[in-house]
C-alpha cells in the first residue's frame, strides 16, 4: 500500500518576492502575481491550503495599459442607494491612488472566499521604490509580460 504524505500549515515555507511594475502591462503582471500568491508555482500546491508566497510590488504608478484603456476603462462603485453609481477612469484613479489599480486587478484573479482573502493579505503594493520589508530579504522576481513567463 502506498503511503501518502500530508502537508500541514507548519510545513509551508513562505518566500518573499519583489516585483518592479515599471513598464509592465497591468493584466499580464496581475496574472503572474496571482499565481504566486496562490502558490501555483510550487510543486506542493494544494487548493485548500494557503501555500502562496508574499509579493511586494514597487513602482505601481508606472504600470501601463495597452491601447486606449487609460481613458476608456472605467472603475465602477455603487453605494446601493438610488443614484449612487460612481465611475472613474484609469487616469483619474492613477492620480488618486495608483496602488489600487494593481490591487484590484490581482484581487479579482484570486478565489472569492476566505482563502482568497488570506492570499490577498500577502500582497504589498507601493507607488514608489521604497518599502518597509527589507528585513525579509525578498528575492527579485523578473516577470516577462511579453510571453507571460517568470524568471
**What is the DSSP code string of 42-76?**
STT--TTS--PPEEEEE-GGG-B-STTHHHH-EEE
Q: Which residue has the cell 490591487?
A: 103
DSSP string, 114-143: HHHHHHHTTEEE-SSS--S-GGG-PEE--E
Give the CATH number of the domain where residue 37 resides. Answer: 3.90.1180.10
Q: Is 101 helix (H, G, I), strand (E, B) or coil?
A: helix
Rounded to two decimals, the pTM is 0.88
Burial 38-51 (b: 16+ CB within 10 A, else e): bbebeeeeeeeebb
Q: Is 27 helix (H, G, I), strand (E, B) or coil?
A: helix
Q: Please, which pLDDT band fits residue 1 given cuts at 50, 70 and 90?
A: low
> Do the domain assignments include residue 10?
no
> Do the domain assignments include residue 146?
yes
**pLDDT tens-digit map of 128-140:** 999 999 999 999 9
Of 61, 59, 18, 23, the C-alpha closest to 36 is 18
44 or 27: which carries more pLDDT confidence? 27
pLDDT of residue 46: 87
What domain range includes position 23?
Answer: 15-150
> Do the domain assignments include residue 141?
yes
Structurally, how many domains does the chain consist of? 1
Amino acid at each position: 500500500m502506498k503511503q501518502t504524505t500530508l502537508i500541514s500549515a507548519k510545513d509551508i515555507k513562505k518566500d518573499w518576492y519583489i516585483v518592479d511594475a515599471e513598464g509592465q502591462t497591468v493584466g499580464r503582471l496581475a496574472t503572474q502575481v496571482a499565481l504566486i500568491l496562490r502558490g501555483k508555482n510550487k510543486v506542493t500546491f494544494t487548493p485548500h491550503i494557503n501555500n502562496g508566497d508574499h509579493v511586494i510590488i514597487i513602482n505601481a504608478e508606472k504600470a501601463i495599459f495597452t491601447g486606449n484603456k487609460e481613458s476608456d476603462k472605467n472603475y465602477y462603485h455603487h453605494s446601493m442607494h438610488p443614484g449612487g453609481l460612481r465611475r472613474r477612469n484609469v487616469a483619474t484613479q492613477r492620480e488618486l491612488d495608483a496602488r489600487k489599480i494593481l490591487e484590484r486587478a490581482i484581487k479579482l484573479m484570486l478565489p472569492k472566499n476566505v482563502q482568497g482573502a488570506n492570499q490577498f493579505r500577502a500582497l504589498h503594493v507601493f507607488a514608489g521604490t521604497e518599502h518597509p520589508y527589507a528585513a525579509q530579504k525578498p528575492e527579485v522576481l523578473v516577470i516577462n509580460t511579453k510571453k507571460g513567463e517568470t524568471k
